[in-house]
């Protein structure tokens, strides 16, 4: 168990290093000089040279990568050119919006998908099963940011029940913050719920055919109890896996939904950095998002080992 754990950790570190190298290479080897891109065409040669020195662009590539990496490891992600503040602080500030948003979306999607998937599996090939299938098809096909637009039209423009966007900040109170994130989280959760419903349904169907579930029912356990006590816990493994696999799409969705609702989150920060040509912020945000996806997948891997002892055998 411990050796597997150590091996996973080493592989995680190597993956993160390679990702950082990849992002750095893309951002620094593509045609175009970062300093010139940041300053635009009207910059004088003097300001350009000054920025080049400030950004350390005159150093060799390897030195710059190592300097960036060393900084990242110490929590120093560099200075934002447009905001004039450390990028690490910016990311932490924006994370206070993106992280609760993503968590709310995950909780909502599971809360929709698991009961729906279980109910569909229990009425296999019945009317409810078909309705749940139709729900999955439609919600997977619908773009999250469009759901956001529709929610704004219905609940903000027409009914006036909810704010159309913006974020009051957590200082305005927990409830005000959660209320501002409610519609964005629903928009983000819906496509995820479609995917998870399918997974939950087929996982429960698979497990219900297993011997131990039949035994449980033969012992006199009711149909419902057999599902909730025995089938569901086993079916959760594929659901958890899928949450991990879908995390990339959740982040992509968050970038879009944040822009629909004008939420000051990480996705919006990335887009603002792009329009302001703030290369350092972009590089750090992309690294942060990618690291998040990788660590998430790592945690899912670990969760397996905890949930399913059969996987603890070294492979």
Q: Which of 48, 69, 179, 293 binds other proteins (CB under 8 A)?
A: 293
* Contacts to other proteins from residues 137-176, by CB under 8 A: 137-138, 140-143, 145-146, 149-150, 152-153, 157, 164
Closest distance of CB 169 from other proteins, Å: 23
Q: Decide if residue 282 touches other proteins (CB under 8 A).
A: yes
Cα angle 258-254-288, degrees, rounded to a multiple of 5: 110
* Rounded-to-integer distance, Cα 27 and Cα 5, Å: 33
Q: Residue 228 carries which DSSP code?
A: I
* Contacts to other proteins from residues 121-140, by CB under 8 A: 133, 136-138, 140
Cα-Cα-Cα-Cα dihedral sign, residues 216, 218, 220, 222: positive
Q: Which of 1, 6, 13, 18 binds other proteins (CB under 8 A)?
A: 18
Task: Choose between 174 and 314: whose C-beta lies nearer to other proteins.
Answer: 314
Closest distance of CB 253 from other proteins, Å: 8
Contact flags string 213-242 toward other proteins, x per CB under 8 A:
------------------------------
Closest distance of CB 27 from other proteins, Å: 6
Closest distance of CB 219 from other proteins, Å: 29
Q: Which two tokens stand for residue 60?
A: 């060799």
Cα angle 230-236-242, degrees, rounded to a multiple of 5: 160
Task: Choose between 216 and 256: whose C-beta lies nearer to other proteins.
Answer: 256
Report the C-alpha dihedral over residues 242, 245, 251, 254, rounded to 10 degrees: -20
Closest distance of CB 40 from other proteins, Å: 13
What phi and psi values does residue 308 have, to the nearest 5 degrees? -120, 100
Closest distance of CB 173 from other proteins, Å: 27
Place of tokens 């400030």: 54
Q: Decide if residue 85 touches other proteins (CB under 8 A).
A: no
Helix (H, G, I), strand (E, B) or coil at 79: strand
Say which residues have a Cβ less than 8 Å from residue 23's Cβ, sequence separation at least 6: 283, 286, 287, 290
Q: Which of 94, 122, 198, 230 binds other proteins (CB under 8 A)?
A: 198
* Contacts to other proteins from residues 26-65, by CB under 8 A: 26-27, 30-32, 37
Closest distance of CB 90 from other proteins, Å: 16
Q: Decide if residue 289 touches other proteins (CB under 8 A).
A: yes
* Rounded-to-integer distance, Cα 60 and Cα 57, Å: 8
Stretch that binds other proteins, among 47-55, 108-116, 254-262, 306-314 (CB under 8 A): 254-262
Q: Is the CB of residue 139 less than 8 Å from the CB of residue 194? A: yes
Pick from 146, 259, 245: nearest CA to 196: 245
Count of Cβ atoms closer than 10 Å to residue 33 Cβ: 13
Exposure of 167 by Cβ count < 10 A (0-12 exposed, 13-18 middle, 19+ buried)?
Answer: buried
**Which residues are near other proteins by CB under 8 A?**
11, 14-15, 18-19, 22-23, 26-27, 30-32, 37, 133, 136-138, 140-143, 145-146, 149-150, 152-153, 157, 164, 198, 201-202, 248-249, 251-252, 255-256, 259-260, 270-271, 274, 277, 279, 282-283, 285-286, 289-290, 293-294, 297
């Amino acid at each position: 168990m411990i050796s597997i754990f150590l091996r996973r950790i080493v592989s995680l570190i190597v993956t993160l290093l390679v990702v950082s190298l990849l992002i750095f290479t893309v951002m620094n080897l593509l045609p175009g000089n970062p300093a010139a891109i940041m300053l635009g065409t009207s910059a004088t040669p003097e300001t350009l040279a000054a920025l080049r020195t400030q950004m350390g662009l005159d150093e060799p590539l390897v030195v710059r990568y190592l300097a960036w990496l060393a900084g990242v490891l110490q929590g120093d992600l560099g200075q934002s050119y447009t905001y004039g503040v450390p990028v690490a602080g910016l990311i932490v500030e924006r994370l206070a919006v993106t992280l609760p948003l993503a968590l709310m979306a995950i909780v909502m999607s599971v809360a929709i998908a698991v009961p729906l998937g279980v109910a569909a599996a229990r009425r296999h090939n019945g009317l409810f099963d078909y309705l749940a299938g139709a729900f999955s098809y439609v919600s997977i096909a619908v773009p999250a940011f469009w759901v956001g637009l529709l929610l704004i039209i219905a609940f903000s423009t027409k009914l006036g029940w909810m704010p159309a966007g913006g974020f009051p900040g957590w200082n305005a109170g927990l409830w005000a913050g959660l209320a501002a994130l409610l519609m964005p989280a629903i928009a983000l959760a819906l496509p995820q719920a479609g995917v998870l419903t399918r997974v939950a349904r087929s996982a429960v169907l698979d497990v219900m055919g297993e011997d131990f579930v039949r035994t449980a029912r033969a012992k006199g356990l009711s149909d419902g109890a057999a599902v909730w006590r025995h089938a569901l816990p086993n079916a959760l493994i594929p659901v958890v896996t899928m949450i991990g696999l879908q995390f990339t799409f959740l982040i992509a969705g968050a970038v879009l939904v944040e822009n629909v609702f004008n939420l000051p989150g990480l996705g919006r920060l990335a887009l603002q950095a792009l329009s302001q040509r703030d290369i350092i912020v972009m590089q750090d945000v992309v690294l942060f998002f990618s690291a998040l996806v990788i660590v998430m997948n790592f945690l899912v891997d670990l969760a397996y080992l905890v949930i399913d002892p059969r996987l603890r055998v070294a492979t």
